[in-house]
Amino acid sequence: MPTMDIGIDLGTSNVLVYVRGRGIVINQPSVVAYDVYSKKILAIGAKAKKMIGKAPENIEVVRPLKKGVVFDLTITERMLKAFIKTAMEKRISVGRPKVCVCVPSGITEVERRAVEDAVYRTGAKTVYVLEEPLAAAIGTSIDINSARGSMVVDIGGGTTDIAVVSLGGTVESQSIKCAGDDYNAAMIKYIRRKYNLLIGEQTAENAKIAIGSVYERPEELTYTVKGRDLIRGLPKGITINANETIEAFSEPTMQILNAIHGILEVAPPELVADISVSGITLTGGGSLMYGMDKLIKEKTGIDTYVSDRALEAVVLGAGMAEDIPEYSRGTE
Ligand SMILES: Nc1ncnc2c1ncn2[C@@H]1O[C@H](COP(=O)(O)OP(=O)(O)OP(=O)(O)O)[C@@H](O)[C@H]1O
Ligand SMILES: [Mg+2]
């Protein structure tokens, strides 16, 4: 049951906003385009994302949150306010709303405060700040209050957050700065090294989503990427095979597997025993990569499932978060 009026997932790659009675009303990339001279915001979200790598000198296109931290606080605040303003207009209920916002795990106390204040300034009555993996667990229908421990791995754009939850809280957790963005970077690096071809970030992401794999695919699947030939300095296209990307992604994949292993090593044995029965739940866009579940299962021996709402779990969890004081830092 939703308890919040508004739930927000302030992600490194995507911002989602849930409004009680309406569902998810905003699902936009965390990208902002602004005029370098006047600082006027020109576009936010999908429209701004299309401008990445293509904007003229007077336009700066930024991702204000990067690697799970706030890279540009002023722009983050402006983006957040614009999204909340739209969400407020879509509300059914009246009065000042109760808002729960999930922030990247690497955020500092100062930035967390700033996000909270920005939400308060949009007219919120109470602001709750929730840890991302806990929200992901709630949003993917894990009973976090149960005494049986569960493990959630949220592979986002900037960070992978691993948490063991039990009795309403996080028992053990780790956040590593290795996630979807690093797979894009690994794709760029691999294609440059192997084919002497330089591709852009957006091309790399499109290729990753189309054919990226971390586990052998049974079928043959190819994708053509275009960029600049580094030897001749001219445009060129090459066709890559899905199974080649397993090798291209080996470094970020290894980091994620090691982090999961690390948590299993330090978690209390009773909870590890629970997880071996209940399995590992994957959320976040990165978990949609082909074979992520199969690979984790193979390496840990624990059944692993991708949430059927991998991209929405955090925002749904924010909307359903319990109205408990520990989550709220602010005053009314
Ligand atoms: N089908 C797919 N296959 C592989 N990767 C995908 C797929 N769909 C989305 N992604 C990747 O998922 C990432 C975005 O996931 P998500 O929206 O969960 O991140 P976020 O919540 O904004 O980031 P963070 O939690 O790190 O702040 C991007 O790197 C994107 O390329
Ligand atoms: Mg996220």
Residue among 13, 31, 63, 83 to mutate when testing ligand 1 (max atoms within 8 A of CB): 13
311 lines ligand 1 (CB under 6 A): yes
Which CATH number is 6-30+68-135+314-327 given? Answer: 3.30.420.40
Q: What proportion of the chain, given as a percentage, has pLDDT over 90?
A: 77
Q: Is the pLDDT of residue 223 over 60?
A: yes
213 lines ligand 1 (CB under 6 A): no
pLDDT at 94: 81
What is residue 194's DSSP assignment? H
Q: What proportion of the chain, given as a percentage, has pLDDT over 70?
A: 96
* Residue count (the chain): 332
pLDDT in tens, 141-154: 888 888 899 999 99
Question: Whole-angstrom Cα distance, residue 318 to residue 316?
Answer: 5
Question: Whole-angstrom Cα distance, residue 191 to residue 204?
Answer: 9
Q: Which listed ligand is nearest to 242 at the C-alpha? A: 1
pLDDT at 323: 62
Asked if residue 177 lies in contact with residue 271, where contact means CB atoms within 8 angstroms, the answer is no
**Is the Cα dihedral 214, 181, 310, 325 positive or negative?**
positive
Which CATH number is 149-178+253-311 given? Answer: 3.30.420.40
68 lines ligand 1 (CB under 6 A): yes
What is residue 289's DSSP assignment? S
Report how far ligand 2's centroid is from the alpha carbon of 262 (Å).
21
Domain ranges in the chain are 6-30+68-135+314-327, 149-178+253-311, 180-248
Span 173-192, average pLDDT:
96
Q: Is the pLDDT of residue 329 over 80?
A: no
pLDDT at 330: 39
Span 130-158, average pLDDT:
90
Q: pTM for the full model?
A: 0.93
pLDDT in tens, 233-243: 999 999 999 99
pLDDT at 331: 35
pLDDT at 108: 82
177 lines ligand 1 (CB under 6 A): no
pLDDT at 332: 34
Report how far ligand 1's centroid is from the alpha carbon of 278 (Å).
25
159 lines ligand 1 (CB under 6 A): yes
Break the chain down into helix, strand, coil percent, rounded to 5: 40, 30, 35
Type of residue numbered 128: Y
6-30+68-135+314-327 against 149-178+253-311: fold identical = yes
317 lines ligand 1 (CB under 6 A): no
209 lines ligand 1 (CB under 6 A): yes
Q: Is the pLDDT of residue 195 over 80?
A: yes
16 lines ligand 1 (CB under 6 A): no
Report how far ligand 2's centroid is from the alpha carbon of 137 (Å).
12
- At 248, is the secondary structure helix, strand, or coil? helix
pLDDT at 67: 80
pLDDT band at 66 (very low <50, low <70, confident <90, very high): confident
pLDDT at 1: 61
Which CATH number is 180-248 given? Answer: 3.90.640.10
Asked if residue 199 lies in contact with residue 231, where contact means CB atoms within 8 angstroms, the answer is no
pLDDT in tens, 250-267: 999 999 999 999 999 999
69 lines ligand 1 (CB under 6 A): no
Q: Is the pLDDT of residue 322 over 80?
A: no
Residue among 10, 134, 209, 314 to mutate when testing ligand 1 (max atoms within 8 A of CB): 209
pLDDT in tens, 286-307: 999 999 999 999 999 999 999 9
- The residue ranking higher by pLDDT, 331 or 79, is 79
286 lines ligand 1 (CB under 6 A): yes
Question: Whole-angstrom Cα distance, residue 41 to residue 60?
Answer: 10
Report how far ligand 1's centroid is from the alpha carbon of 185 (Å).
14
pLDDT at 278: 92
Type of residue numbered 61: V
pLDDT band at 188 (very low <50, low <70, confident <90, very high): very high
Span 99-112, average pLDDT:
84
Q: Across all residues in the chain, what is the average pLDDT?
A: 92
